[in-house]
Structure 1
Amino acid sequence: MPDGIMPPAHPFDFDAALSDGDKLKEECGIFGAVGVTDAANFVALGLHALQHRGQEAGGIVTHDPDEGFNSARRFGYVRDNFTSARLMETLPGPIGIGHVRYSTAGSKGAAIRDVQPFFGEFSMGGAAIAHNGNITNADALRRELIERGSIFQSSSDSECIIHLMARSLQRNIPERMEDALRRVEGAFSIVAMTRTKLIGVRDPMGVRPLVLGKVGDGWCLASETCALDIIGAEYVREIEPGEMVVITADEGVQSHQPFRPQPSKFCIFEHVYFSRPDSLIGSKSVYETRRQIGVELARENPVDADLVCPVPDSGTPAAIGFAHESGIPFGMGIIRNQYMGRTFIEPSEHIRNMGVRLKLNVNRALIRGKRVILVDDSVVRGTTSRKIKEMILDAGAAEVHFRIASPPTAWPCFYGVDTPEREKLLAATMTEEEMRKHLSVDSLKFISLDGLYRAVGEAEGRKSNCPQYCDACFSGEYPVTPADMIKKGFQMKAAE
């Protein structure tokens, strides 16, 4: 299977270098299309809309009846790689899938072999697969497969699925995928393809998102609805938890439920941060949910101040809701440099030390003399929060109050989000008051878990005996036991 043109040298990423690991990084974005002319172009556009879900690397696989399977995998942004006519001409065909990546399992370095989609040649033909999520028993599966003769080409947990499919005795690719996924634990949304079929699957709890769209006479699958919008596709519905759809240009969508039903545990952090604000989750606007989070935050944690200021860009909808509910004026006290990103020039140490100031700048005329409420989506390590607080005080603010649009992040995620070790999470080792003192702010308050549930539409808040979402990063209650991590020494939350 040709792989187009060799990847460029891995560029320096300002965002990664300056983040200090102080934001949870989304796992991946996936997209697939069938029954369209030049599927690769649709896939590239879809991946561009999903770039916020993974900026490390991307890949596309297509199939053409005359030329067979073709693929291209590259480091960096979609716009820097998959807009070249020369490259896109190597990806012909009416069916294709793609993936944008931020590594969560496997090596954290630059390894082109870890970039998805992965491809396998089976007795009944080739198949490619792109996976969003994390397999919590991948280490055990990998050891078993290697002992039985499998040869792995990557460090990614997703490759386990290809090897399990290869060992299945089922008669076709969709059935082999079902067989393989019954061995898998954890979270997965998958787009896969054969020569003629586009396949989409969600894990039985539906932790990670996947939606179905209609584009002309063809069909598409995507992590979020914003990727449907960019290609002019009609949003049809979400793929249900535990559902597999097999789509062909001639027969359309065939759906079935190959897994034992389980309670839905959709990732609640998709509402808070990961999804783009112009996407829909369960037919509900992500923007409106985040605005409502700000409303709940203001009701729970009022403060006497002069200005509500978002930490851009993820804190903006919540800040708007907070300002509306509190009656305190909203203002853009921090301006983001929208052109900050990758460069092929390695910056000097002096430039590195400018830190967050390269990405954000304070609107001094607005801030000076004000008691400022900063609204952010989360606090992870606290390093960026401290730098932003210092910038606000340097600009002449009288007081700085933090209001956080999620509960304290005290537990790592093992379902496809790059979370620091628990001891590096500020909320895992400090009380709220200790965090306030550590950040040296006048006040620090988080939305409660009940308040977050109310904001996403659960009027009764969080039902402690059966939470409707996966909220393990806040509660420490994991819907799937992280078997591999426990073997490595991770300590689960003690039963109360």
Structure 2
Amino acid sequence: MSDAIKHECGIALLRLKKPLDFYKQKYGSAFYGIQKMYLLMEKQHNRGQDGAGFASIKMDVKPGQRYISRVRSNQQQPIQDIFKQINERISEELTAHPEYNEDTALMKSQVPYVGEVYLGHVRYGTFGKNSIESVHPFLRQNNWMHRNLIVAGNFNMTNVKELFESLVELGQHPKELADTVTVMEKIGHFLDDEVGELYQDCKNEGLSKEEASPVISERLDVARILRRASKQWDGGYAMAGLFGHGDSFVFRDPAGIRPAYYYEDDEIAVVASERPVIQTTFNVPFEEVKELEPGHAIIIKKDGEVSIREIIPSVGKKACSFERIYFSRGSDAEIYKERKELGKLVLPQVLKAIDNDTDNSVFSYIPNTAETSFFGMVEAAQDFLNDRKNNHILENRETLTEETLKELLSVKIRTEKVAIKDAKLRTFITEDSSRDDLVAHVYDVTYGVIKPEDNLVIIDDSIVRGTTLKMSIIKMMDRLNPKRIVVVSSAPQIRYPDCYGIDMAKLEGLVAFQAALALHKERGTEDIVDEVYKKSKAQENTPDIDVVNYVREFYAPFTDEEISDKIAELLKTEDVKADVKVIFQSVDNLHKACPDNLGDWYFTGDYPTPGGNRVVNRAFINFYEGNDARAY
């Protein structure tokens, strides 16, 4: 993606079902779980590079022994940093006590991080803050083992203030107005409630307090806790949690906005944000890694029993399409196929833009995530060229000579790697520096492959703000002196902000919004802008369930092509000599390519939760009033 937008998080939960000695005997190490957690987290590095955290639980330890370990980092390479810390602590213990190497029970009781239940998290700081206190997992501590709660998630709630107020009404005093804290405290409140009820049952059965503790752990109804805690949640989430005694869970939102996959056998149960992460780490086939259904939780009890429970009825799957277009690893078999299909489906628009002149066109892509859709586009272009060859042969079969046939068959689609990304330079550029000249050189070009009569077709997976396209890519492509530059987005026009975790919170930052606004000004229809503001403002105190997305009316007067053409004008600076054309995927084709991920609110404004409509209206109000603030 040319625009640097940030994704929210990746999670990894691992439960070892066998005693540690089993893994030492079979795999040669009692640190099997820690080693696998490193892989699960590193393979999800793409999902978050601002911070990482790790937590582990030892089950059935004696009172007085530490059974919860946690380490977090917001260093430049956070995953490497936390596992460096873990390895150093383990090495210190084993150097001082080499006898632990021969006794896994002793190792488990004495060496930190060695346990049976693990939770990992990688994150981006979408709110612009990245203090260590913001890094997951979060820990809620208690002297009662089963009241300890560790939470990490890939999520964002649209109604944080409402959730915060509900905690205050319960008599709590939350330390921070943040969705992670409010969600954890909500789960924690009903955990305490459940434990209290179970203790009373044990007391009525004549059990002592000490006898009651293991009984409470066994009877704890995790599904009931999650049902009660999540009643007011509005957002996209894959929420993971560990209880101090050893129960664990991952819970997915009822629209399936955020992803979660799981695998289970007689040795392990594992959950992660992406399927190929599990496939790679445990060498298991595609079909054995299951997707957690919307509104369901995978619950792993202390005794190793795994169950899938419905927590909230599904509202219809609206899984985030950006997962397929950009964020998730392209090594997933389904995602790879879908991204190629996105490239194929956009080709008819490309052919129209180049007047079907494939002979004088060079096809390329913006590295690195658009590469797969590029393959799909080129395959479709080759099919088009083959059809043209076939038709020519059939029409001229009486007069074809061996020489002309050979010449005809030698014609191929021309592909080149034209744009080369300078990753180190991009890392150096900061948001608040004087950066325009540096941004212009984020990409280099390959000289000598374009002729003056050529069209240069370059595909990106999506266009959000258009900043890098305007300041760098188009300028650099123009140095090659093509006749026309055709910038292709494998995703539709991004018109609406996200409120479920992706860092797209402000309308005015979206180039499609800027284009529509420019069209309103050109055509003298700015009264529509005023009307959208008034309607949005009038709904400020309306319950979320009744709120209407009036920002759709802002775009309604214009066709997709009109907005695309205006975007091309906005992205072309005066010093660019080539003609510039911008093409976007259609929403219908997006759904054809990604039929199981129909969450398209970025493009259509069709938000999967009521809070989304409130957020988009608030974003418009902020724009209109000049408030440089997030809408949630």
Q: Same fold (TM over 0.5)?
A: yes
Matched, 1:186 2:315: no
Distance in 1 (alpha carbons) for counterparts of 2:150 and 2:321: 29
- Structure 1 partner of 2:584: 446
* Larger helix share, 1 or 2: 2
- Structure 1 partner of 2:81: 81
* Larger strand share, 1 or 2: 1
**Superposition map of 1:251-266 within 5 A:** 251-266=304-319
1:488 Cα deviation from its structure 2 partner: 8.3
- Structure 2 partner of 1:232: 282
Distance in 1 (alpha carbons) for counterparts of 2:308 and 2:130: 37
Distance in 1 (alpha carbons) for counterparts of 2:292 and 2:317: 12
Matched, 1:480 2:609: yes
**Superposition map of 1:164-243 within 5 A:** 164-168=186-190, 169-171=193-195, 172=220, 174=222, 175-194=224-243, 195-214=245-264, 217-234=267-284, 235-243=288-296
**Do the aligned partners of 1:127 and 1:173 also contact (CA within 8 Å) in 2?**
no
Distance in 2 (alpha carbons) for counterparts of 1:380 and 1:347: 16
- Structure 2 partner of 1:271: 324
Distance in 1 (alpha carbons) for counterparts of 2:254 and 2:611: 16
Q: 1:347 to 1:162 in 2, by over 3 A?
A: closer
CA deviation vs aligned residue, 1:336-369 (integer Å, no higher than 9, x gap)? 34666768x99997888422534x3211133464
**Do the aligned partners of 2:155 and 2:501 also contact (CA within 8 Å) in 1?**
yes
- Structure 1 partner of 2:449: 366
Which secondary structure does the structure 2 equivalent of 1:364 belong to? Answer: coil
Equivalent residue letter for 2:419: I
Q: 1:451 to 1:87 in 2, by over 3 A?
A: farther
Match of 1:33 among 14, 22, 25: 14
- Structure 2 partner of 1:24: 5
Greater Cα shift, 406-415 or 78-87 = 78-87
- Structure 2 partner of 1:6: none
Distance in 1 (alpha carbons) for counterparts of 2:69 and 2:38: 14
1:95 Cα deviation from its structure 2 partner: 1.1
1:180 Cα deviation from its structure 2 partner: 0.8
**Do the aligned partners of 2:14 and 2:118 also contact (CA within 8 Å) in 1?**
yes
Which sections of structure 2, spanning at least 5 residues, go unmatched? 18-29, 92-111, 196-219, 383-412, 516-562, 573-578, 622-632
CA deviation vs aligned residue, 1:31-71 (integer Å, no higher than 9, x gap)? 11011754333222211111111111111111124431111
**Do the aligned partners of 2:465 and 2:511 also contact (CA within 8 Å) in 1?**
yes
Matched, 1:310 2:393: no
Give the structure-2-normalised TM-score. Answer: 0.67
Q: 1:432 to 1:347 in 2, by over 3 A?
A: closer
Which secondary structure does the structure 1 equivalent of 2:417 belong to? Answer: coil
**Do the aligned partners of 2:373 and 2:490 also contact (CA within 8 Å) in 1?**
yes
**Superposition map of 1:54-453 within 5 A:** 54-65=48-59, 66=61, 67-75=66-74, 76-84=76-84, 85-86=87-88, 90-104=112-126, 107-121=127-141, 123=144, 124-146=146-168, 148-168=170-190, 169-171=193-195, 172=220, 174=222, 175-194=224-243, 195-214=245-264, 217-234=267-284, 235-248=288-301, 250-280=303-333, 285-302=334-351, 303=354, 304=357, 305-327=360-382, 328-337=413-422, 353-355=437-439, 357-358=441-442, 360-367=443-450, 369=452, 370-386=454-470, 387-430=472-515, 431-440=563-572, 441-453=579-591
Which secondary structure does the structure 2 equivalent of 1:307 belong to? Answer: strand
Q: 1:87 to 1:319 in 2, by over 3 A?
A: farther
1:154 Cα deviation from its structure 2 partner: 4.7
Which sections of structure 1, spanning at least 5 residues, go unmatched? 1-14, 459-467
Give the structure-1-normalised TM-score. Answer: 0.84
Q: From the CA coordinates, give the structure whose radius of gyration is larger.
A: 2
- Structure 2 partner of 1:12: none
Greater Cα shift, 293-302 or 81-90 = 81-90
Q: CA RMSD in A?
A: 2.9
Which secondary structure does the structure 2 equivalent of 1:170 belong to? Answer: helix
Aligned length: 456
Which secondary structure does the structure 1 equivalent of 2:449 belong to? Answer: helix
